[in-house]
Structure 1
């Protein structure tokens, strides 16, 4: 497990990791919703449009509760959040990542809605290398436009 040191290195690591996560997350959301639950930790806190979704129900939620739609992002902001994970040398300081996303959802038939989604990503300590999982996810449709 590498320790990220210095503000520039931490910022670069956070942005790279957060942007890679966003790209993968929305690619899978658009193409393989049944696989979305793999992004989430076992105790993830998920709120979708004001409704809590238990982590144990995420596969069913993404597979059958979400309508067919195409998600696209218009802005992504990634910020480091201090965190401490146990390492072989005791406690090793690592960054968690707060990711704020804005974008659009195309439901077809000229209906496009805007959305905001905020994630807290934490490192999955069960993996041998740095892999992030979602600890918290808050999604909200915030507006609608018609083409």
Structure 2
């Protein structure tokens, strides 16, 4: 892991690896394991879903459980490191875009999502959502 004195390339690599792991676990949970959603969130997470504030990861999981089945298809994502800690980990911004289909609708909608992910103190290769902004697009 890079430390706060490490190279820019190592910080970018750290954010890219964290983003890949996150995308590969979070979106499958949205699609088929909604009971796990609350575990992705920092206790003080700030969430805005399509313009509506949601109080916590648990509230988001409850909200999402009431929605029809979904299928998220991530088409691209990018991560940029933000803040580095003394253990060599870093918070990062993650921007995701793709398409989503809800319930029996045949129509897919585009979505754009921005996260700030922070490393878990005791497990610095695991990240929790600190901030999330989701928006359906045309």
Aligned match of 1:71: 72
Aligned match of 1:19: 20
Using the size of structure 2 for normalisation, the TM-score is: 0.88
Deviating above 4 A after TM superposition, structure 1's stretches of 4 or more consecutive aligned residues are none
Aligned match of 1:142: 137
Determine which structure has more spread, i.e. the larger CA radius of gyration.
1
In structure 2, the CA distance between the partners of 1:68 and 1:128, relative to structure 1 (3 Å rule), is: closer
Aligned match of 1:62: 64
Deviations 1:70-98 (A, max 9, x none): 001111011000243xxxxxx55631010
1:118 correspondence with 2:126 = no
In structure 2, the CA distance between the partners of 1:32 and 1:92, relative to structure 1 (3 Å rule), is: closer
Using the size of structure 1 for normalisation, the TM-score is: 0.83
| 3-state SS, counterpart of residue 69 of structure 2 | coil
How many residue pairs match? The answer is 134
| 3-state SS, counterpart of residue 111 of structure 1 | coil
- Contact residue 89 and residue 124 of structure 2 kept, 8 A: no
C-alpha RMSD of the superposition: 1.6
CA deviation after TM superposition for structure 1 residue 7, in Å:
1.3
What CA distance in whole angstroms lies between the structure 1 residues aligned with 2:7 and 2:23? 24
- Contact residue 120 and residue 137 of structure 1 kept, 8 A: yes
CA deviation after TM superposition for structure 1 residue 22, in Å:
0.8
